[in-house]
Structure formats: structure tokens, C-alpha cells
Structure 1
């Protein structure tokens, strides 16, 4: 490559005069900055006389490509010859693509980047120029590419459509039985649950194949080969046969089935009685204190005034877990000396489960309390009556199977007039407490 002197002087680098004792001096300044903005000079202006020309041409300079890594430096007159061989100097591409390429990069350029280079597609094996190869690489039908469905397979571009339609494990395919779409690799799992999947009757009846979702109904109502137990199996009938034999059995054994059911009903009655007894024992009060709630006071009082001797009885309760069994009774319209004017209240001793272990006669003190339901609890004034049993009275002896009809208590517990003066009746409800003194412990 031929350059004019003006081109050289724009990029010349002059080494400093190096002292033989100073080998680590900084590189000399270049002439590039000096001549960058200067007008192009003529040969006569640069070399006004032969001595100056000789001096300049004998100056030591660096190669203009020293920044690219060229280590050459020598007299200026030798620079032209050096540039003709410098590997960092740019020369026209030998393929005539028009690019100026440093000699050191020419091989790579001709092999990889030159638009006029000849190259072969690694997939289809066809030859292309460099420029056409770049356009071909993204469309070569033989190039392996990953499936767009992310199944993990690589197939040639020309086979991709066929792969996605018929081979891809992630393609959507319809179930041939229910017509719903599923990913191909999950179809087998779906078939194990598909309601329309054909299955055989396990009893090998004349219905050979049916949909899975119809199998239960078939076995319950239609399968002629199903071994079925008699409907009276729980009652004790041991017959078992197919549907037709079972129907015949039921028609011919009505009397026997009725006998079995009567036996079952009898057993269930005994069980119900036993459960009721156990339930009543669980619900019994063993605290020795009964809070008795009397609802619908007005209607019950009106009924007591029209019906002579109308008695209300409380739930039974025990003085302790293994103690006496008691029951309170109430006459809203009075009894005996309190009839028509007072409420009468009594306590009865009932036959209990542990009477044989208790001390007789009954000797615990008993108190009755009518609660004042005042809205201000501090101002409430309850009515309380109590007594200590007389051991000579038959009411407190060990009761027989038929308890005393009346018991012992207070015929004139509280008058009807007194009930109106305070809040003994509120929202048509009355509360009476019956309490047995726990200080006297039974002897067991």
C-alpha cells in the first residue's frame, strides 16, 4: 500500500533519544497531535533544503500501528518498506469484498466474516457465500431445533410440523371415549379414570362392555349375574343368589322373613329400654341441689284452679352419687291448709338404687327457696323455708316400690298475694331451689 508523506506525518511516532543508562523512560510523544489540525504541506515546505530532508528522514519513529501492538521502530525512510509487510497494516480484502482488513486479521476475516467467502451449511451441506449463509442459517430445513411445545425433543425444521401433529408428547389430543382434550403423555393416566372408558362387567353377565361411569348402576340394578344377599340379611336370612333367584326367594319366603323381623324388633325394644335407662342415669342430678324451673306459670295456675289436686313434679335427683333419691312436688293452687290461697311444696323420697346401703330413716335437713328475679341482684329477697325430718314419720323411712303419694313439706309455702308484690314471677317463669344439707353424711 502506497502512502504519501502527508499520510505518514499524521500518524508518526518519534522515539526519544534514549540514554544508555535509562532504559525505562516513558514512550516519546507522537506527531499525530501536532499535525492533526495543520494544513497539508508541500514537499518544498517540509524539506526546504537537502540537509533538513536528510535529518528528518533519518529520524527514529515508531510504526503508525504501535498502539495496535506493532513493536517496530527505525528511521523514517524505512517506514514505507515496513508498512508493506506490517501485519497490523490494513490491506484490501483478497476476496474483493471492499473491506480494509489488518493483515493479522485477514485469515479470520476470510474464514468467518467476509461477505464474499465460500462456506458450507453444517446442516444441509450446501455451499453459500458468507452473506447468503447468514440468511440461510435461520431457515435451513435440515437444522435441528427444539420443539415449541417444550417436550424436550430436537427435530429438523422440515419435520417440526409433523412432529407437533403426531409425535410430540406435549401435543393436545382428544380422548377417544369422552372427546375431551389432554396432553398426550397424560392420556394414559386419564384413561384409568375416564368415565366413558369401556370396562367389562366383573360378573361376566350378558352385558359384555359398558362405560366405567355406568358400572355401579349396572351392578346395583341390571346385572343378572350379580350374587346378591337377601334384603333380610341383617335379620338373619342367609340366602344369596343372582337377581332373578333373589326375586323368587323374596316371593316365596314372606312368612319366614316376617318371623325374623319380629325377632329383631323384640331385641331392639330391649336395647331401647336399656339405653333409655342408661341415659336417664347419665342425666340424673347427683349434687343434692335441684334448681326447678316452672314455665308457663299463668296457664298452669289457671289449670290448677279448675282441676282439683293438680300436682307438678320435678325431675328426680340424688343427694350424692350413691345417696338418697328425691323428688319435689308443687301445687300451684295450694294443697291442704293452703288450698286456693297459697303455693304448696313438698319433698318425696323415691326408691333408689343404693337404698340398701343407706342409713334410715332419712335425716338430712331440706330447704326450699323461691327466687326473687329482681333486676337488681342486691335487692333480691328470696323466700326460704326448711325443715329437719322427724325420724318417727313414715315419710322418711325407707320407701317401698310405691313411694308416698304426697311427701313432706309446706302447704302454705307462699301466698298468691305475696307472689304479686315482688319479682318471683318474671316472663311467666318461676324458679324454686330444693337443697339437701350436705353436712349430714349418709352411712354406707
Structure 2
């Protein structure tokens, strides 16, 4: 590119200036000075150089400069000045005399020249190759997908619309499909598209539809008995076999009771009408068997719930009502759940008379204990000789201030109540007719929330009543 002097002197950078009055020898020495050091100039020379730079900045031509400074020596001195390339900030390292700058700019790789494809852009020589290859609107290039040739501008419009560009399916099935085939893939070939079941019309992902067909209730199937019925929906098959199929074989309704008869639905109906007595007998046997099972379960359950600790805590609730009933009904007795002295020990039961018994009638609560026939009586020592104590708990809010009532005894071996019991035990055991008076019952917190707590404790280690 050819430039006028005014153009390439506008951005000149002078690393050093010299006085036009110095000899050529001095100028040679100045060329060896580092470009970053500026020698001191005379006032006359500095004034002239400033005027020249001002005129260059105002686009003055070389002829105008020569008209003002026609002195050949001054011109020679100026043109011999060492300058940087006008593109030194872009990276050009060239520096030489001013007269050589024009020739340098014709080859400087940082100098901008018009695009050779005539797109109108000014591009540095060093970037021209990349510009022509990648960014020039007038470049000729081929689409990497369809291999058609376009100008750079047309290729930018073509990008994103090329029908041969491979794209991932939007349904995330993992397939890459040409843009022109993407719509057809999503509607027909995508494994993740939604497809309605042709039997029940519900929508499913395409790759799960075969699994749905295996259990779809509306899938048509034939009766396994090959009866005259038309094709059935899978969900209607059970009802058809039980109620409608004319050739299916059924067991008798009383098969669980022991009847082994089998036949078609109509034959089964006739069988039921003709064998009522037989079915009734079978059901009676089942009921009897179940009664024995129930009795056995009840026995096992009662054994699991028995107390084998030798100590019974007896909770008597709604005591006021029971006291009123005992006063109106002579000899009313309340009995406790049975309990054992140990797992294989004596079986005992406590009882109380709310309105008293014998000497305590109408004035005291009477408590007793009786020995019941047990499973292991044949292995136990008789007569019964363990000490027995009764405790009525004071339910005071402060346990330290509670005052319980305790009575105990050691059985008399001569008393018949402590001998091995027969199948029918004595109606009355041994105890205390005057255990606690009705008056005492009201003085402390023996009864709280209409409830009494009585402890009956059997201790085989005690030989003295406590």
C-alpha cells in the first residue's frame, strides 16, 4: 500500500532528535544511542522540530514543509532521524531512519491493507490469512454437513438450518438424527416418545409399551377352556371362568370341608341340590374340629398370661359400686385371677368380700386365699406351708408418707384347706375376716379414683409371718 508523507508521519515516534547543525559524524554516533534515550536539543532545533510535527499533524504536505524549511541540511537531518514503526504498539520491532519508513510500511506485517477478496475491510497483513479463511464475508467455504459451497455471509445464515446437521433427539433417547429427519424420528422411531396403548388408550413411553401389554387388562384373549364365548378382555377372564364358562371344571363349594366332587358349573349346581345331607355332615365335622382348636388355643393363651412370680398385684376398680352391690346382696365375693408360686408350683387364688364375711360382716373388708387344683400338684409337697401376706396400698401422692396395711400368716399343716386340693376346691380359703374396716378405708388414700390395690405375696423362704 502506498501512503503519502502526511499519512505515515501522523503517528511517527522519534526515539531521538538531533540538531541540524551537527556534523555527520555526530549523527552516526547518535544512531547507536538507545531508542529510549532522548538527547538534549538546542532551543533553535527543538523549536523547528515542534513546528514540523505540528504541520504533520495538520496533514501538511512535504512541499509545504519544504517551503517553510527549504534548507537541505535541515531536511537531511530530519529524514536521518531514528524512528519506530507506526505499529510498534501492535508488536512491530522495526526502527530506522525516517526516510526508510515508507519502504518498511510496504512490507510491514502489522500494516493494514484492503481485503484481497474486496469485502471492504482493512486487515493487517499478519491477520489476512485468517480473515480470508474464517471471517471474510466474501470467502468461499463449504458446509461441513451438506458439503455445499457458500460465501461467508451465506454460511452464517445457513448454519443452524442445515438439514444434514446431526442433532440429539430432544426426548433424550440418545440417538443423533439429521435435522431434516428429526420430526419423523420423534413421531415414529424415538424409543422415548409417548405412544397410546391400542387396547386401553392410556399413553406410555414407547420402550415400556411391551411390558404394559403383558399385564394390560384390556388385551383380548381367548377362554383357556375353548368355550363358545367370543374373545375376552384379560381383566374379565376370572369372572367368565367362575360364572359364565360352560365347559370349565369347578370344585364343589364344600371342598374345604372335604368334598372332592368336580364338574362343570351346571353339574355343580345339581350336585349341591342332591347332596345337602352329606355337606351338612362335613360342616359339622369341621365345626367340631374348630371348637377343639379354639379350646386348645384358649388354654395356651391362658397359660401364657398366667402369673408365675408368686406375687399378685390385684387392681379392684369401681369399688364403690361393688360395695353397694355387696351390701344389697348377701355373701357377694370378688375373686382374683389365679397365679402360681413358680412355673411348676402351687396354684392359688385370692378373694375379698367388700361388705365383710363372718366376724367382719357389714363392718370390714374380708380377704382370703385358697389353693386351686394345679397341673403339678402330684410333684409338690403337702400340706402347703409357705407364708402368705396381704397388703392394702396407701395411694398417697407422697410415697414416703404412705401407710400400707399388711396382714400375714403361716399355714397350719393340720388345717384341711392347706392339704392337696381335690377336683372341686373348698369354697372358702384361709385369711382375715377383719382385714380393714370401712371407717379406715375412708381415712387415708387407700381408695383413689374409686380403685383399690391389694398385693398377695407367697414367700417360701419365710418361716415367720411378716
Fold shared per TM-score above 0.5: yes
Which of 179, 202, 206 does residue 180 from structure 1 map onto? 202
SS across alignment from 1:192 = helix
More deviation in 216-225 or 394-403? Answer: 216-225
Distance 1:323 1:220 in 2: 58
The residue aligned with 2:4 is: 4
1:242–1:44 CA distance, 2 compared to 1 (3 A): same
The residue aligned with 2:186 is: 164
Distance 2:322 2:53 in 1: 130
- Kindly indicate whether residue 277 of structure 2 is the aligned counterpart of residue 255 of structure 1: yes
Alignment of 1:214-233 (within 5 A): 214-233=236-255
SS across alignment from 1:234 = helix
More deviation in 108-117 or 11-20? Answer: 11-20
Which of 228, 248, 259 does residue 237 from structure 1 map onto? 259
Superposition deviation, residue 87 in structure 1: 4.7
The residue aligned with 2:354 is: 332
SS across alignment from 2:313 = strand
Superposition deviation, residue 351 in structure 1: 1.8
- Kindly indicate whether residue 401 of structure 2 is the aligned counterpart of residue 357 of structure 1: no
TM-score, structure 2 as length reference: 0.78
Give the paired residue count: 438
Distance 1:146 1:154 in 2: 4
1:396–1:120 CA distance, 2 compared to 1 (3 A): closer
The residue aligned with 1:289 is: 311
Distance 2:450 2:36 in 1: 121
TM-score, structure 1 as length reference: 0.81
Distance 2:331 2:238 in 1: 65
In 1, are the aligned partners of 2:258 and 2:282 still within 8 Å (CA)? yes
1:341–1:141 CA distance, 2 compared to 1 (3 A): closer
In 2, are the aligned partners of 1:323 and 1:354 still within 8 Å (CA)? yes
1:267–1:13 CA distance, 2 compared to 1 (3 A): same
The residue aligned with 2:43 is: none
Distance 2:93 2:405 in 1: 127
The residue aligned with 1:96 is: 118
Superposition deviation, residue 7 in structure 1: 2.3
SS across alignment from 1:95 = coil
Show CA shifts across 1:138-170 (max 9, x none).
334444444444444444433333333333333
Distance 1:125 1:380 in 2: 105
More deviation in 153-162 or 256-265? Answer: 153-162
- How much is the aligned-residue C-alpha RMSD, in angstroms? 3.8
Distance 1:264 1:329 in 2: 40
- Kindly indicate whether residue 321 of structure 2 is the aligned counterpart of residue 299 of structure 1: yes
The residue aligned with 1:266 is: 288
SS across alignment from 2:423 = coil
SS across alignment from 2:201 = coil
